[in-house]
Amino acid sequence: MIKQLDKVSVRERIARRAEKEIESGYYVNLGIGMPTMVANYIQEGKQVVLQSENGLLGIGKSPLETEVDPDLINAGKETVTAQAGASYFSNAESFAMIRGEHLNLAILGGMEVSEAGDLANWMIPGKMIKGMGGAMDIVHGAKKIVVIMDHVNKHNEPKILKKCSLPLTGEQVVNRIITDRAVMDVEENELVLVEVAEGWTVEEVIASTEAELKISDYLQTGAY
Amino acid sequence: MKTIYTSFEDAVKNIQDGSTIMVGGFGLVGIPENLILALVNSQVKHLTVISNNCGVDDWGLGLLLKNKQIDKMIGSYVGENKEFERQVLAGELEVELTPQGTLAERIRAGGAGIPAFYTPAGVGTPIADGGEVRIFDNKEYLLQTALKADFSLIRAAVGDYAGNLVYNKTARNFNPMMAAAGKVTIAEVEQLVETGSIDPDHVHTPGIYVQGLIEGKQEKRIERLTVRQGM
């Protein structure tokens, strides 16, 4: 049964759906973790330039063992290569590019998202604070911000809320949420359910979402 | 004339207890490895360190941390270091977390004569608490002040005797802004070349920002080796 998808398949499902947000010709920043996986599913024929906030526009494939350059990493500190047409620059230039809204899309992970599009993804009070990295800048940069995450947390509690309980990364910054169960758009401070994933019903999605969901007139079920 | 050091010990000898230092690098990439090691050996204390990360437990700035030489750390992500966590929880280390783009721009501003600037990053988040928010074109922005340092320790791939620097790939990161924001900037270079042998069109950091240089060999440790299989 589809609901029993293991963790790996859930992540793959989300990553594959998120890939559809990327259009040919886009400049895209992918966050650390699951968002980085989206790169593995970019369809052939799409020309996409991936930005890494540590100063690389045009991330290539992972290097072959013989190609590894310790001076060439992505923002997750993994060794990478640069694709043809790539460029290197400083972090100041990198974030000027981000804040200046030159990127078409950023795909980020999330702990909580509110119905107003607030995002919390950097700290849990009481736990060690590791830092926000570039997330607080990126949410204000790209023209479209897509958050990908599990629909509920490991205690089966909703992560899409009326109001975030965790400290925010940004206020009213998220445009679209993609989970293992559904795709939702933040519109004029209401959350619109636009797609339901295979194996889930509209009722189940509503029941596992704390925020109020408006059903789109163009709702697709079994969408991915 | 630039000071060309022949020992790393000499290169850091003017750094006093209580100094504010900027250290280039993103993760372990582009860090001035040998200058950091020399600082550890110098036993200088009560440092305020401005750097995106704080190394790992046994390398980079993590070594300074382990040796309890840092009083305050300003950075954007410190999650790779267990000793860091221990010192923060024990109240031995003060930490100021700032969004990465804000950190880069604060340093850039510091070297560029801009005392402060507004940025959207952090509005509506805990880092805006007590801060000054102003609206421009119907959007809120947070005031951030510039950062400067007594010393900037940076790394480049190539430097010439005039102080001009060229970086390699993503080892550039915070190094160029820090070069300008340090009252005294010491560059650890992989290769020191004759003045005139770098094409002026290829200079990343003009020599005016650099006061001292030293050639050294780096280990270039890799934090997350990721490779693909194939031919």
Bridge partners for A84 per DSSP: none
Cβ-based contacts of A96 with chain B (< 8 Å): 105
Distance between CA A211 and CA B29 in Å, rounded? Answer: 42
Kindly tell me the burial class for residue A42, based on how many C-beta atoms sit within 10 Å of its own C-beta (0-12, 13-18, 19 or more).
middle
Phi and psi torsions of A76, nearest 5°: -85, 5
Distance between CA A121 and CA B210 in Å, rounded? Answer: 38
Q: Say what the pLDDT of residue A127 is.
A: 82
Share of chain B above pLDDT 70, in %: 100
Pick from B206, B54, B172, B204: which is nearest to A52 by CA? B172
pLDDT tens-digit map of B206-230: 999 999 999 999 999 999 999 998 7
Average pLDDT estimate for B110-125: 98
Q: Which of A19, A53, A112, A195 is catalytic?
A: A53
pLDDT tens-digit map of B104-115: 999 999 999 999
A167 CA to chain B: closest CA distance, Å? 6
A163 CA to chain B: closest CA distance, Å? 13
Closest residue of A to B25, CA-based? A54
HSE, CB side, 13 Å, CA atoms: give it for residue A99. 21
Asked if A72 and B169 come within 8 Å (Cβ–Cβ), the reply is: yes
Q: Say what the pLDDT of residue A1 is.
A: 45
A58 CA to chain B: closest CA distance, Å? 12
Q: Could you give the angle at the alpha carbon of A212 between the alpha carbons of A206 and A214, nearest 5°?
A: 80
Phi and psi torsions of B35, nearest 5°: -65, -40
Distance between CA A66 and CA A91 in Å, rounded? Answer: 28
Q: Say what the pLDDT of residue B41 is.
A: 98
Q: Say what the pLDDT of residue A3 is.
A: 56
Pick from B134, B129, B126, B131: which is nearest to B145 by CA? B131
The fourth-level CATH superfamily of domain B3-114+146-174+181-209 is Glutaconate Coenzyme A-transferase (3.40.1080.10)
* Residues with Cβ within 8 Å of residue A90, at least 6 apart in sequence: A55, B104, B172, B173, B174, B175, B176, B177
Closest residue of A to B170, CA-based? A72
* Interhelix angle B100-112/A91-99, nearest 10 degrees: 110
Asked if A88 and B226 come within 8 Å (Cβ–Cβ), the reply is: no
Asked if A171 and B124 come within 8 Å (Cβ–Cβ), the reply is: yes
Q: Say what the pLDDT of residue A176 is.
A: 98
Regarding the domain delimited by A2-182, which CATH topology (the fold level of the hierarchy) does it fall under?
A: Glutaconate Coenzyme A-transferase (3.40.1080)
Asked if B226 and A78 come within 8 Å (Cβ–Cβ), the reply is: yes
pLDDT tens-digit map of B74-111: 999 998 888 888 898 889 999 999 999 999 999 999 99
The full DSSP string for B135-186 is EETTEEEEEEE---EEEEEEEEEEEETT--EE--GGG-TTHHHHHHHEEEEE
Q: How far is CA A58 from the centre of its chain?
A: 18
Asked if A91 and B174 come within 8 Å (Cβ–Cβ), the reply is: yes
Active site residue A203: no
Give the ranges where chain B is alpha helix by DSSP (H).
8-11, 33-42, 61-66, 82-89, 100-112, 175-181
Average pLDDT estimate for B26-41: 98
Q: Say what the pLDDT of residue A4 is.
A: 58
Cβ-based contacts of B226 with chain A (< 8 Å): 62-63, 78-80
Closest in B79, B119, B176 to A130, CB measured: B79
Distance between CA A136 and CA A124 in Å, rounded? Answer: 15
The long-range contacts involving A123-128, CB below 8 angstroms and separated by at least 24 positions, are: A123/A166, A123/A167, A123/B126, A124/A166, A125/A166, A125/A167, A128/B79, A128/B85, A128/B88, A128/B89
Asked if A68 and B222 come within 8 Å (Cβ–Cβ), the reply is: yes
Bridge partners for B186 per DSSP: B153, B212
* Mutation target vs B (from A37, A71, A163, A168; most B CBs, 10 A cutoff): A71
Distance between CA A17 and CA B127 in Å, rounded? Answer: 33
Closest residue of A to B87, CA-based? A128
* Mutation target vs A (from B169, B204, B205; most A CBs, 10 A cutoff): B169
Q: Say what the pLDDT of residue A177 is.
A: 98
A71 CA to chain B: closest CA distance, Å? 5
Q: Say what the pLDDT of residue B111 is.
A: 98
Phi and psi torsions of B85, nearest 5°: -60, -45
The structural domains of chain A, with segments of one domain joined by +, span 2-182
* Residues with Cβ within 8 Å of residue A156, at least 6 apart in sequence: A208
Distance between CA A91 and CA B4 in Å, rounded? Answer: 27
Asked if A90 and B173 come within 8 Å (Cβ–Cβ), the reply is: yes
Bridge partners for B70 per DSSP: B47
Bridge partners for A57 per DSSP: A51, A87
Pick from A136, A51, A137, A39: which is nearest to A88 by CA? A51
Q: What string of pLDDT tens digits covers the 224 residues of chain A?
A: 455 568 788 999 999 999 999 999 999 999 998 999 999 999 999 999 999 999 999 999 999 999 999 999 999 999 999 999 999 999 999 999 999 999 999 999 999 999 999 999 999 988 877 999 999 999 999 999 999 999 999 999 999 999 999 999 999 999 999 999 999 999 987 999 999 999 999 999 999 999 999 999 999 999 99
Closest in B52, B103, B227 to A62, CB measured: B227
ipTM of the complex: 0.96
Which helix (H) or strand (E) segment is A9 a member of? Answer: helix A7-19
